[in-house]
Amino acid sequence: MREFDITYDIPDTRFYSYYKITKNGIVYDCKLNRNVLPKADSNGRLYVALRVNRDTKMKKKVYLDALLAFTFLNPGRYGLDFVEVEYRDGNQNNLSLANLLTRYMCDTYYLDLPNREIKDGYIE
């Protein structure tokens, strides 16, 4: 991470204060004082493996695009597990915030912002 990159806490209780992220998609491990290296899945989407709890060795695979959208484009503060991301230009490797379109999933329904009400278990 460069010295002038501003880091933000990831607003998920599983990762809060353990990891930080920049608007460029660089994830920083606060305990180890180093960047978390992203990996690519079989479809080419970038992800990072983050420890769920510092007391265990269990890690969760989190896609970088979803992590960026959850941290910076999530005014309703829906959970990270409900974030779905689409790309304005169709390029999944372009992780700029201007390229990410955020949708939220509740059960089998996908809903666009700014709908924020929950009725009968569904986000409307």
CA distance 46 to 92: 9
User: What would the pLDDT profile of 33-79 be if each residue is shown by its tens digit?
Assistant: 999 999 999 988 999 999 887 777 788 899 999 899 888 887 666 77
Instruction: Give the pLDDT band (50/70/90) at residue 120.
Output: very low
For residue 2, pLDDT over 60 is answered with no
Query: What is the per-residue pLDDT for 122?
Result: 41
For residue 106, pLDDT over 70 is answered with no
Tokens of residue 24, six digits: 């460029």
Identify whether the C-beta of residue 89 lies closer than 8 Å to the C-beta of residue 66: no
Looking up tokens 């939220």 gives 104
Query: What is the per-residue pLDDT for 18?
Result: 87
For residue 118, pLDDT over 80 is answered with no
Instruction: Give the pLDDT band (50/70/90) at residue 1.
Output: low
Identify whether the C-beta of residue 89 lies closer than 8 Å to the C-beta of residue 106: no
CB neighbours of 72 closer than 8 A, spacing ≥ 6? 8, 23, 97
> What sign does the CA torsion over 36, 37, 38, 39 have?
negative
The percent of residues above 90 in pLDDT, for the chain, comes to: 26
Query: What is the per-residue pLDDT for 124?
Result: 43
Identify whether the C-beta of residue 64 lies closer than 8 Å to the C-beta of residue 48: yes
